[in-house]
Amino acid sequence: MCHEFAGRSINVHHIKQEADGGQNTLENAIVLCLRCHAEAGHFNLKHPLGTKYSPSELIRHRNVWYEACANGVAQFFSSIEAKVKRTYTSGELHKYVLLFKFHNSNKNVVSGWKLNVFMPYQFNVSTGEVEQHLEEVIDNQCYRKFQVTGSEKLFLSESIELTDPEWAKIEYDVNQAIYDSSREFETKIIWRFYSDSYPPITGELAWDEIQQF
């Protein structure tokens, strides 16, 4: 997940835990350094601070890494870490903030970037220093588009927080009505990252990763 050299200090992690019925198969496995393994093992959908390295994020990173290795470009692989943090809870309303982090594992210097985040139309979204653009239809669903940009220079092995809980903030609400209606559809948050040194990096957070009620 961190794309740092770990030598023999690695573990094979069950993406779906054996205690939850996960199988001892390659499809349910990912190789992680000891630090990332500790983080992945503490994913907890019901805890506001336990949302690092969800199962779908592990699978996405693993598959992209396999593809990079197969194409001989693994040493140039960079990534986006996307996670959700719960900021408020009551019996009627939950609030969450989106946190995106970019890791530059490429020898090229990144000196300009933008992150587009597409939020489900039914979500009530509040932002900080974030641009709101026209709505877009993706896979026959309507999304609100938000954009964060930056011009900081990022060298090899450097990282940057693209959003945060205060300034570059993207926060959304989930109440009981939204929760009930969204369960009927494949509700998700979509993101696309662009820079002056890379092809676009895209991804999404599925419904079971962006809410707890």
This prediction has a pTM of: 0.67
For the purposes of burial, counting CB atoms within 10 Å of the CB of 192, is it exposed (0-12), middle (13-18) or buried (19 or more)?
A: middle
Comparing C-alpha atoms, which of 179, 183, 98 is closest to residue 146? Answer: 98
**Positions of the chain with pLDDT under 70:** 3-5, 41-52, 73-77, 212-213
Comparing C-alpha atoms, which of 184, 2, 182 is closest to residue 94? Answer: 182
pLDDT at residue 35, as a whole number: 81
Distances (CA, A) of 26 to 14, 31, 66, 198: 9, 10, 12, 29
pLDDT at residue 54, as a whole number: 77
CA 156 from chain center: how many Å? 21
pLDDT at residue 14, as a whole number: 92
Enumerate domains of the chain plus CATH numbers. Answer: 1-75 (no CATH), 78-213 (2.60.40.10)
pLDDT at residue 36, as a whole number: 84
31-85 tens-digit pLDDT:
998 888 887 866 666 655 544 677 888 888 888 888 878 887 655 557 888 989 9
pLDDT at residue 213, as a whole number: 46
pLDDT at residue 101, as a whole number: 92
Sign, CA torsion 66/70/71/76? positive
